[in-house]
Amino acid sequence: MSKIFLFDALREATDEEMQRDKSVFIVGEDVGHYGGSYKVTKDLHTKYGDIRVLDTPIAENSFMGMAIGSAMTGLRPIVEGMNMSFLLLAFNQISNNAGMLRYTSGGNFKIPLVIRGPGGVGKQLGAEHSQRLEAYFQAIPGLKIVACSTPYNAKGLLKAAIRDDNPVILFEHVLLYNLKDDVPKEDYSIPLDKAELVRQGSDVTIVTYSRMRYHVMQAVETLVKRGYDPEVIDLISLKPIDIQSIVTSLKKTNKLLIVEECMKTGGIAAEVIAQVNDNHFDILDAPVVRLSSQDIPTPYNGNMEKATIIQPEQICEAVELLVG
């Protein structure tokens, strides 16, 4: 094991997969000579050259289309969004091409494509750079969506995504790149469809993902001191949702709290609630509670920005009300 930053874990995964498979290449804005906005591709241009680490113009719809076309012909592109919100400019390519072509071609084409990059609410990045796009893409058939939260799962998820024959979107949080933790030196990957049990407990199941994992764990420290015993699940897979892991936990706790940075309307929590209520309503002792960001563009002002997203003290209050 070695302690590395999350951005280095992503870089290691990319480097190792590029060494392992010559069909893997990187495309995006400033991924080459500059080394990526958050240094995930640092020095890879020197090692692999212009063809496999390809700097592009600011034309997301064009280079996304190029990546999808190359995936159809047998290559394995990794598209870095300098900020994931920029990829809204490529929404047509992602939805109508990446998500659908394997189906509409009758299985004649595979689309082994990875789309990754920073997203989420940073620190005063303004509305257009603070978007959470997981709910935008969650409704698109044919996509797999994962959100990393630790250096360990970041590396394992990216490796699994690169090796997968379907389009995978990997969401990285802009405030987690400098998170440091242990990562195995040997090769490993993580399933793209499994949640992680972060903490075992008996009073309430708290489901979360990405940066909110740390807000939840901060709240858990306080809750334990107050005599509560929460179970915590990091979703990791946002599409498909690992509903079975949630149900297994609910059979112990019978109470569900969902904490997300996504907006409440049409968010990931809304889908989790729908699946639980549709198929597992009988194991609930209380209505599901969700804590989501407010449905407004994220303010630039620091105090107002903080007020739009869920804070640890709100999680504590929700658990106390839910458990009683």
Inter-residue contact 99 to 141 (CB < 8 Å)? yes
Considering only CA atoms, which of 220, 121, 137 is closest in space to residue 176?
121
321 exposed, middle or buried (CB, 10 Å; 0-12, 13-18, 19+)? exposed
Please give the Cα distance from 322 to 324 (Å, whole number).
6
Six token digits for residue 289: 């509670």
Helix (H) or strand (E) holding 137, with range, is: helix 134-138
Q: What residues are annotated to the active site?
A: 60, 129
Whether the Cβ atoms of residue 129 and residue 83 lie closer than 8 Å to each other: yes
Task: Give Dmax over CA atoms of the chain in angstroms.
Answer: 60
Distance CA 35, CA 33 (A): 6
Q: Answer for the pair 264, 293: CB distance below 8 angstroms, yes or no.
A: yes
